[in-house]
């Protein structure tokens, strides 16, 4: 795996950059929305290599966090590298993480190629991977664990809990579970 590259920028197009590293020039998938670069400047790009039967493709990012978000998005069924890169380029830093924590598809819906169904699929998949979901309190965490013990996978359990009204008076874990199972 090629983790990062540093070299002289030769050219930047709408969807790529050419990076000169010694006698070799590499074409890296890089959207102009990710940052406007100046030819001749030394650039460090964090990369992800995708090897297919007929091609090798490098996807580049200026920040390590963007690369990590890209890799998480690639794990979502139905999200390919171009869509994942477009999502990273079109969302503000931290906006994707906040969307996952709040189960809010709005930031994803502004990305071309992402409809409501895809946005919800991405949120659900990324919530399943989140080790510490943002639930309001200990009771909610206990309810999540109980739903998982009842046979729901983590994503289904979180989806059910998200449908429970947070504005209700303080609920016990048993009451939260009852409300979640009603939905």
SS (H, E, C) 21-61: ECCEEEEEECCHHHCCCCCCCEEEEEEEEEECCCCEEEEEE
Q: Where are the domains of the chain?
A: 4-61, 64-129, 138-182
End-to-end CA distance of the chain: 44
CA dihedral 174, 180, 182, 183 (to 10 degrees): 170
pLDDT classification of 166: cutoffs 50, 70, 90: low
**Phi-psi bin for 35: left (phi > 0), alpha (psi -120 to 50), beta?**
left
Q: Does domain 4-61 have CATH number 1.20.58.340?
A: no
For position 174, what pLDDT does the model report? 84
User: Hey, which CATH number is domain 64-129, 3.10.20.30, 1.10.150.20, 1.20.200.10, 1.10.1060.10?
Assistant: 1.10.150.20
d(CA 51, CA 49): 6
Decide: pTM greater than 0.75.
no
For position 81, what pLDDT does the model report? 96
| CATH of the domain spanning 138-182 | 1.10.8
> pLDDT, tens digit, for every residue of 103-143?
888 889 999 989 988 998 898 888 876 534 445 567 777 88
Percentages of the chain per state (helix, strand, coil), in multiples of 5? 45, 20, 35
H/E stretch holding 6 reads strand 4-12
The helix/strand/coil state of 2 is coil
To the nearest whole number, what is the mean pLDDT of the chain?
A: 85
Query: How does DSSP classify residue 16?
Result: E
């Amino acid at each position: 795996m090629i983790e990062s590259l540093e070299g002289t920028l030769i050219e930047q197009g709408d969807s790529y950059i050419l990076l000169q590293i010694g006698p070799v020039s590499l074409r890296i998938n890089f959207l102009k929305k990710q940052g406007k670069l100046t030819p001749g400047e030394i650039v460090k790009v964090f990369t992800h290599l995708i090897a297919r039967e007929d091609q090798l493709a490098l996807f580049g990012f200026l920040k390590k966090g963007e690369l990590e978000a890209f890799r998480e998005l690639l794990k979502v069924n139905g999200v390919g590298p171009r869509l994942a890169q477009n999502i990273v380029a079109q969302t503000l830093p931290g906006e994707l993480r906040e969307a996952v924590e709040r189960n809010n598809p709005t930031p994803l819906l502004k990305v071309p190629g992402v409809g409501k169904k895809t946005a919800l699929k991405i949120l659900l998949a990324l919530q399943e991977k989140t080790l510490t979901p943002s639930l309001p309190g200990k009771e909610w965490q206990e309810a999540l664990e109980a739903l998982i013990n009842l046979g729901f996978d983590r994503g289904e359990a979180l989806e059910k809990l998200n449908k429970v009204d947070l504005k209700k008076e303080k609920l016990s874990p048993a009451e939260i579970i009852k409300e979640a199972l009603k939905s």
